[in-house]
Amino acid sequence: MKVRSKPKQSDPIRWIIGGFGILFILISLYILFSDLSIYRQANRVYPAGVSIASIPVGGLTRAEAETRLEQVFSIPIELRYGEARMQFTPDELGWRLDTAATLDSLEAALPNTGWWQHLWGQSMTAVNTDFPMQVSFNTEACRAFLAENIIPRYDKPATAALPILYTTNYTPGQKGLELNMGAALPAIQDALRSPSARIVNLPVNETPALPLDPANLEVFLKQTILLSGFNGLVELYTQLLPQGDALHFAVRANEPVTPDVAYSAASTIKIPIMVSVFNHLGEPTPDLALGWMRAMITQSDNPPADALMRTYLDENLGPLIVTEDMRALGYQNTFLAGYFYAGAPLLQRIQTPANSRTDVYLDPDFYNQTVPSEIGDLLARIYRCAAASDAQQNDLFPGSVTPSECQMMLDLLAENKIGALIEAGLPPEGDAAHKHGWTSDLDGLLHTMSDAGIVATPGGDYILIIFINSPQQLFFDEGNWLFARLSQVIYNAFNLENQAAWLGS
């Protein structure tokens, strides 16, 4: 007979233990996933101490950091040009911040702590590091923007001096302002990179006032002649030394005339005589020759001129040697064909391009003639010769005429003090080394006056040659007034910062 076994009963303790085990497992999983969530949340923000271009981003998510950077570096840049102020966006100035590349670079540089290290308490620590921005700056775009928006509006071009009608003076030119583009671009770039210093005082250069336009000077001189009421022939030649461009014109009854009319040279021819004698004299210069030159230039005496040519050139043909020397310098219209003494024979009848003109003929002296450009060029050669340090800089008979001899010539011309003509228009600061000339014609009247000189001034030295001629009698005071007026107009043109005032009536 089979005996039936009794069913086993559940052990409550085992169920309790199993329940607690499952509970502990669930709690562990909860803690594990909670910690994973915390880890992931922590890794979405940047560690404390991290900054980009001095902008702190620690504790911010990537999106928050991106927003902060864009807010800071989108602030307009203030540009200041003198007292003017203007604001422009970074985009207008050719600047762009690449926030994505900036943050990618930051994240790649941060230490990487995994979850396993996190479980063992090795969480990300603070990082005290400032990271650079990833930006682009289009220099050419910024340059173009400034050229289009700043320069036309705020640059101020320098202006030139302008004549003041009815005077001998000028309104001085004004200095200008010019943006220094080369220095402005780096300054703007620095401001664009700065979170706080976003003001740029644009570097501006001051440009000097422009010199007087030679065309305006010529117009002013012609206006001066017109307002003087003189209706004869006026020819003027001026040149800034040592080798400036020449201003040369002639007017007759206020109508233009081709320059280099043939004039009776009168005593102006004594400058070529002096040059020719020095060309044929050796050093040291004899006292006798120097004395005759002084009398010839400062007293305008004729006998010393004849004595110089007879003694040091040729007893009979001295004047023609002067002419030959002028031809050697390239002067075709300047000549001396006889001595000065009364009854001296005409050694040669000389025809020149100037005295062959048919448009203007003043019936000049057969014995001596010149034109303003040639006597002006001769004076310029004397000036350069005196300053020459070697033969290559001397274009006045190099090897024969020395700088010391040229300086003697300038000194002699400077001793010629008459207080009239070119001198009369100069203030005390100006000094003329010159030779004047005038003579009565066959009718016994004065028709031609001339003055040729080098004027030394604070603003620069210059050549000034003036010839005037009137078909009627030329009164000295009338001619002298015009010479002085023209002389002062030119002096003031070269001395705009220290102009002379007209003191005459």
Q: pLDDT tens digits, residue range 471-482?
A: 999 999 999 999
pLDDT given for residue 112 in this prediction:
60
**Model pTM?**
0.77
**What pLDDT does 88 receive?**
94
> Amino acid identity, residue 317?
L
Vertex 186 angle, CA 182 and 188, to 5°: 110
In one-letter notation, the amino acid at residue 80 is R
Mean pLDDT for 279-300 is: 95
Interval 21-31: pLDDT, tens: 787 777 766 66
Angle at 499 between CA 438 and CA 384, to 5 degrees: 60
Residues with Cβ within 8 Å of 34's Cβ and at least 6 positions away in sequence, in order, are none
pLDDT at position 24 is 72
What pLDDT is recorded for position 42?
44
Residue 40's pLDDT is: 47
pLDDT for the residue numbered 333: 98
User: Using an 8 Å Cβ cutoff, are 146 and 204 in contact?
Assistant: no
Give the pairing of strands 199-201 and 77-81: parallel
50-52 and 129-131 strand pairing: parallel
Of residues 140 and 243, more confidence is placed in 140
Inform me whether the pLDDT recorded for 393 exceeds 80.
no
More confident residue, 432 or 100: 432
Residue 3's pLDDT is 52
Tell me the residue length of the chain. Answer: 505
Say which range, 2-6, 172-176, 226-230, 472-476, has the weakest mean pLDDT: 2-6
Q: Quick one: tokens of 253?
A: 């009854």
Rounded percentage of the chain residues whose pLDDT exceeds 70: 90
**Sorting pLDDT into bands at 50, 70 and 90, what band is 341?**
very high
pLDDT at site 113: 55
Write the DSSP symbol of residue 266.
Answer: G
More confident residue, 72 or 391: 72
Q: Is the pLDDT of residue 115 over 50?
A: no
35-39, 46-50, 196-200, 501-505: least confidently modelled range: 35-39
User: Which of 418, 404, 453, 449 lies closest to 433 in space, CA to CA?
Assistant: 453
**Structure-model confidence comparison of residues 97 and 280, the more confident one:** 280
SS3 call for 21 = helix
Beta carbons within 10 angstroms of residue 159's beta carbon: 14
Rounded mean pLDDT, 277-286:
94
| Between 42 and 104, the higher pLDDT residue | 104
Decide if pLDDT at 397 tops 50.
yes
Q: What is the dihedral of CA 438, 444, 447, 450, to 10 degrees?
A: 0
Which pLDDT band holds residue 442 (cuts at 50, 70, 90)? Answer: confident
Dist. CA 61–CA 46, nearest whole Å: 6
Tell me which residue of 112, 435, 111 sits closest to 274, measured CA to CA: 435
Residue 41 is predicted with a pLDDT of 47
Looking at residues 462-474, what average pLDDT do you find? 96
Q: Calculate the average pLDDT of the chain.
A: 89
pLDDT digits (tens, 9 = 90+) for 116-170: 554 555 555 556 688 888 888 899 999 999 999 999 999 999 999 999 999 999 9
Residue-range domains of the chain with CATH: 49-110+134-207 (3.10.20.800), 214-495 (3.40.710.10)
Q: What is the mean pLDDT of residues 484-497?
A: 96
Highest mean pLDDT among 134-148, 323-337, 381-395: 323-337
- pLDDT value of position 39: 46
